[in-house]
Homo-oligomer: A and B are copies of this chain.
Amino acid sequence: MSKNKEGMLIVLSGPSGSGKGTIIKSLLEQRKDTVLSISMTTRDPRFGEQEGVHYFFRTREEFEQTIANDGFLEYAEYNGNYYGTPIAPIQRWLYEGKNVILEIEVQGAEKVMDKREDLVSIFLAVPSMEELEHRLRGRGTETDEVIERRLAAAQQELTRVFRYQYVVLNDEVEQAVARINTIIDAENLRYSRMENTVLEVK
């Protein structure tokens, strides 16, 4: 509505198996105003993964330099590799008026929420633990032990839902996407985002 409106930073989190990836894919197909943040990692590219599309691939030294420069919204080390959310590309997109989605696990999301207040945070919930187990088993790629560990983590993650502004139930993908669309549209009507438009009236 207004020109030069900054985009919004959206944190989408939720348990493993809550369907973050599927929902974001569908959301991005519907919204040309929204992009997915790209993580930086020190792990080697897998077959088909492209620099700047799936990840920014960097050396350990480069990654640690970015840490030293306070260049991450959050980062962590898993299995001997760093993974992080670099700030610079996000700032550029926001400035260009794009909304940026961070698809992030619950611990990382909290680090981001601690660091920035000007974001929209959404927790993606599953209808029930039974349904979550069903989905995790349906992937057919994980061992019982991994599934048990993920279910226990999900129980734990659910206790952190109070940190989020919005809760979207993923009972059905297109409905969940519609709910996130509604949230983004409403957030665009916030005073803080309408300020320029309103001032034009004067």
Residues of chain A touching chain B, judged by Cβ–Cβ distance below 8 Å, are: 1, 123, 125-129, 155, 158, 161-162, 164-169, 179, 182-183, 185-187, 189-191, 194-195, 197-198, 201-202
Contacts and interface: CB of A to CB of B under 8 A. Distances in A.
Count this chain's copies in the assembly. 2
B161 A189 contact: no
A202 B158 contact: yes
A164 B191 contact: yes
Contacts of A161: 191, 198
Contact of A185 (B182, B190, B191): B182
Contacts of A195: 162
23 contacts: A125-B194, A125-B197, A126-B201, A127-B201, A129-B201, A158-B202, A161-B191, A161-B198, A162-B191, A165-B191, A166-B194, A167-B194, A167-B198, A168-B189, A169-B194, A179-B189, A182-B182, A182-B185, A182-B186, A182-B189, A183-B186, A183-B189, A185-B186
